[in-house]
A and B are shown apart, each in its own frame.
Chain A
Amino acid sequence: QKEVEQNSGPLSVPEGAIASLNCTYSDRGSQSFFWYRQYSGKSPELIMSIYSNGDKEDGRFTAQLNKASQYVSLLIRDSQPSDSATYLCAVTMGNTPLVFGKGTRLSVIA
């Protein structure tokens, strides 16, 4: 069974804080991992990709991957109200290009 699990939230953080979003996946052979941001009524927007164990930083975003634990996370530093959205974790599994979690709703409170 191809599964990606995320806490649905909502996750509420104050403006300027660090938001931490987590994701686990079922296929130990997965090699490609992505985070998408989806605003209400809009389509998913790719914000991070990660392929190797460890951390990958891009501006205020850091993706972390631990393949042994089958765990991916996304940290958002200095959270802004404009970061309020649903964050989707997606994993490549077998012949399926992307298996998505249900998403975590993030609310950044000004």
Chain B
Amino acid sequence: ETGVTQSPTHLIKTRGQQVTLRCSSQSGHNTVSWYQQALGQGPQFIFQYYREEENGRGNFPPRFSGLQFPNYSSELNVNALELDDSALYLCASSTWDNEQYFGPGTRLTVT
């Protein structure tokens, strides 16, 4: 197991609601990336944080936002949830070499 933790494990929300997912990075890692994995697909890059600044963003709308804290933990916020947001949300931490280690993920279901 990696040292990356995520909470909660599972979440059920209603369309239009807002959700916050949390991630604690592995000790010694200063970079956190978030990915969305739909069923049967590979993970898709949402954004990356390095030293509390957004350091790259994938093709996701602005209602997907994030934060990184001084201890390198991170949050992913999604506003105005849509049915298509149902997926496994993965957090990965890394150092400069970009070897990314994933947490267990949060399974989000939007009804």
Contacts and interface: CB of A to CB of B under 8 A. Distances in A.
Interface string B25-50: 00000000101000011111100100
B101 interface: yes
A101 B40 CA distance: 11
Contact of A44 (B33, B41, B56, B90): B90
Contact of A97 (B98, B101, B105): B98
A11 interface: no
Contacts, number: 53
B107 to A, nearest CB: 9
A22 interface: no
A12 interface: no
A109 interface: no
A98 B33 contact: yes
Interface in B9-29: none
Contacts of B105: 43
A100 interface: yes
Interface residues of B, number: 23
B45 A98 contact: yes
B8 interface: no
Interface in A8-50: 32, 34, 36, 42-46, 49
A95 interface: yes
Contacts of B103: 43
Nearest to B55: A95
30 contacts: A34-B99, A36-B102, A42-B104, A43-B88, A43-B90, A43-B102, A43-B103, A44-B43, A44-B90, A44-B102, A45-B102, A46-B99, A46-B101, A46-B102, A49-B99, A90-B42, A92-B98, A95-B56, A96-B45, A96-B58, A97-B45, A97-B56, A97-B100, A98-B33, A98-B43, A98-B98, A99-B45, A100-B44, A102-B41, A102-B42
Given A42-B104, A95-B56, A97-B48, 15 more contacts: A4-B42, A34-B99, A43-B102, A45-B102, A46-B101, A90-B42, A97-B56, A97-B100, A98-B92, A98-B100, A100-B35, A100-B42, A101-B42, A102-B41, A102-B42
